[in-house]
Structures are given as C-alpha cells and as structure tokens.
Structure 1
Amino acid sequence: MAKANDNSIPIDWIWLIQALQEATRVLGSRRLAKRRLKQWMATKELPWICTSLDLLDEKGQVMTGPLLGSVFLLLDLFWDATSHWIDWEDNCAGENELGAVQVTGISVSRERLFALLPLAGELRTGEQSRGAAAWITGEATRMKVANEIPENIKITHFAQELERRMRKTALSDKSLRPIGWRSIKNELRNWGLWPITTIK
C-alpha cells in the first residue's frame, strides 16, 4: 500500500474510477488514461491506498499473520506485473502470479493526479504558452539569465529546484497548478531546457 511522503499534510483521496474519468477528460483517450495511471502508480508518482489487501495461497485461501509480510515486497512489482488485472469500475485489482495479491477499494491522491494531468493536457494540445510548462520555461530562462544555475547541476537537481520554486509561487498564484519534479525531469529535453546550454 503506497503512502504519501508527508503524513503531516492531509491527503484528499479519490476512487480509482474517478481518477480514470479525470485522466480521460484531460488526455482524450480512455486507453491512454489507463496506461498513464498504471505508470504513475508503478513509479510512485501517484500515491495510492486501498481499503482491503489480500494475499492468497496456492489453494485460493486468504493468508493472514506473518505470511502477509511478503505482500509488501510484492507491491513494488504490482502495477508492472504482466498477469495483473484491474477492474476500474469496481476500484480493485489483482495479480495472479506474484502470490495472488488482490487489492480492493483503491483510491489515489487527487492533488498528485491533478499535478500530473495538466502537463499531459498541455503536451497533447501543444499549448505550452499556458500552465506549468510555460511557467517552468519562463523560470528556467530567468534563472539562466540571472546566473542562478550551477554549471555542474544534475538534471534531477534542476528538476527538483524548479518544482520547489513552482510550489512556492503557487502559494500566491492560485492559477498555477504545480507538477512533480519527476514529470518536470521527463519533459526538460522536450521543452528545450536540457542541457542547460540549450536554454534561450
């Protein structure tokens, strides 16, 4: 069961089916929305929880007690498993080869989902003049002009710094919807922001 990184901040959870509906609305494809949600949950970019988690033995009986300890090792592989199934309408999923893990009542973080989706929507429509993509491009350009980017900075650290600045700005600019550093890192080259020498 994935948990949010910061337990001091309450998380607004939404059912998996609601997440699928929102992702489909932004991405314009139910198939693509399913693929993206699975990917984000597998990479832990999109935190998730469930109301029930079962591990079945070879006879199909629910395992309890110490035997359940192994289920947490399997969850890291869960969303990428090839024999894994998802019932999107019923908010449940299972994996038949890795110890028959079954989870029901799946919810995901609404905030993290919405932080990931605007970027996908902007890339689909090519509207990089708005939203997170435009803000990141503008901030990276400003940082370069101001000599605020160390020469030997790594791409991960650059993405993390951009996320930190974006979240700080979003506190006073409610129209800005921050996205995570992993999403930023994945798109820096597409936006012409990596390597640093390409920033205009």
Structure 2
Amino acid sequence: MAKAKDKSITTQWIWLIQALQEATRALGSKRLARRRLKQWMATGELPWSCMSLDLLDEQGRVMTGPQLGSLFLLLNLFWDATSHWIDWEDNCAGENELGAVQVMGISVSRERLCALLMLSGELRAGENSRGAAAWITAEVRQMNATGEIPADIKITDLARRIEQRMADAAKRDPLSLRAIKWKSIRNQLVEWGLWPVTLIK
C-alpha cells in the first residue's frame, strides 16, 4: 500500500526510475531488477509513495468522495494485478481492471532499497560490498545533483564526506545498512564510476 511521504530525516525517497537503475547495477539485469522491485512493492518490503493517485470510473473520470472507499483495498492487489502496467521512465503505473487505478510520481525508500539489494541473495558470491556500492552511488549522484560536491574536491575528502553520511544513515537504520570506512570508499570510487567527479551522471 502507498505510504505517505515521510517529512522527517529518517527516510529518503528516490524516483522509481532511479530505483530501477540502482537495482539493475546491483543485480546485473534490468528484467530481474524490474521483477524484484515489483515484488518488493507488492509485499510491502519496499515502501513506496506517489505524488498523485486516481481511481477512474467506467467513463474514465476521476472518482471522488464516497466512491473512493474501496481505493485502499484495491491497492493491496495493485502490484500483482494481471492488467497492471508500469512506465518506469515516467515514474507511473496503472491498473485497468480493478477500478482503473492510476499512480503518478512514484518514489521508493532509498535506504530500504539498498538494504534489500544487499540482503536479496541475488548478489554474486564475494561481492557483499555491492549493497554499499548501490547506496554510495545513489548518495554521490544526489550530492552532485544538488551541488554539494565542489569541482576541486580531493578524492580523500569526498570519501570522508560519504563515510559520514553513510554512518548517519546506518545509525537511523542499523539493520538495513552497514557503514564502511572512508579508505574502502576511496579505493573503490573509480571502479564505481564516481571518480573523477566529472564522470558522475
């Protein structure tokens, strides 16, 4: 079921397309990533939210008031419905039979996604750092997008900043995320495509 956006600092949300990109990198297959994301949202393991949720009547009009009484019941079946569709690029999804539900601006819990990727059992043997890599990649991309990484930053300084942010996130959710030290981060930034800063996409 859709979760209300958490305005506190304990939950960070990323768009569905970003979640797909991170899951694809960790699992090595876009098809598998789509399957896992849909499964995790259906079971409630991956909390999700949306900017807009509409229930349409038989004429395609948005239903209001008392008509919406069955909406949350329908959401329990939404991700598993046979006529369900997802537009990953546009962060939206819909269902054409169970009351024609349309969900737009879908986002998921970033920390929970990283934890699921780390614990999913789909990661290749000996690559336990891939879960950390997924979290760090998402974090650095967000930092870069919001202008938090100076163009002249040194690799060690960047690694230290990431270490602190990861430690803070791990304190909020110690069961889902295990922080790693800045030296380990620094040694893998190039491999993860996060150094030099000009390579960050």
TM norm. shorter chain > 0.5: yes
Aligned length: 140
CA contact (8 A) 1:49 1:106 kept: yes
CA distance in 1, matches of 2:23, 2:60: 34
Question: Quick one: which amino acid aligns to residue 74 of structure 2?
Answer: L
Q: Alpha-carbon deviation of 1:34?
A: 0.2
Q: Residue 94 and residue 66 in structure 1: after superposition, are their counterparts in 2 closer, same or farther (change >3 A)?
A: same
Q: Give yes or no for the alignment of 1:36 onto 2:36.
A: yes
Question: Identity of counterpart residues, as a percentage?
Answer: 72
Deviation at 1:169, TM superposition (A): 10
**1:189 counterpart residue number:** none
Q: In the TM superposition, what are the counterparts of 1:41-56 in structure 2 within 5 Å?
A: 41-56=41-56
Structure 2 equivalent of residue 11 of structure 1: 11
Q: Is 2:32 aligned against 1:26? A: no
CA contact (8 A) 1:119 1:132 kept: no
State the match for 1:58 in structure 2: 58
Q: Which residue of 1 aligns with 2:78?
A: 78
How many Å apart are 1:66 and its aligned residue?
1.5
Q: TM-score w.r.t. structure 2 length? A: 0.62
CA distance in 1, matches of 2:28, 2:129: 18
Code of the residue aligned with 2:30 in structure 1: it is R
Deviations 1:174-194 (CA, angstroms, capped at 9, x unpaired): 229xxxxxxxxxxxxxxxxxx
Tell me, yes or no, if the aligned pair for 2:112 and 2:176 is still in contact at 8 Å. no
Correspondence 1:119-198 to 2 at 5 A: 119-120=119-120, 123-127=122-126, 130=128, 167=174, 174-175=179-180
Runs (5+) with no aligned partner, structure 1: 134-165, 177-200
CA apart distance, 1:52 = 0.4
The Cα offsets for residues 92-127 of structure 1, whole Å up to 9 and x where unpaired, read as 00000100000000000001000101234x643112
Q: Quickly say closer, same or farther: Cα 1:169–1:101, change in 2 above 3 A.
A: closer
The one-letter amino acid paired with 1:69 is: G
CA contact (8 A) 1:54 1:62 kept: yes
Q: Secondary structure at the match of 1:90?
A: coil
2:99 counterpart SS class: coil
Whether the aligned pair in 1 keeps the contact of 2:20 and 2:30 (CA below 8 Å) is yes
1:49/1:108 contact within 8 Å kept: yes
Inter-partner Cα distance in structure 1 for 2:18 and 2:8: 25
Distance in 2, Cα, partners of 1:29 & 1:56? 34
5+ residue gaps in structure 2?
132-172, 182-201
Could you give the per-residue CA deviations for residues 58-80 of structure 1, whole angstroms, max 9, x where no partner exists? Answer: 11111011111211110000001
- Partner deviation per Cα, 1:20-45 (whole Å, 9 max, x = no partner): 00000101100000000000000000
Counterpart in 1 of 2:117?
Answer: 117
Please tell me the root mean square deviation across aligned C-alpha atoms, in Å.
2.9
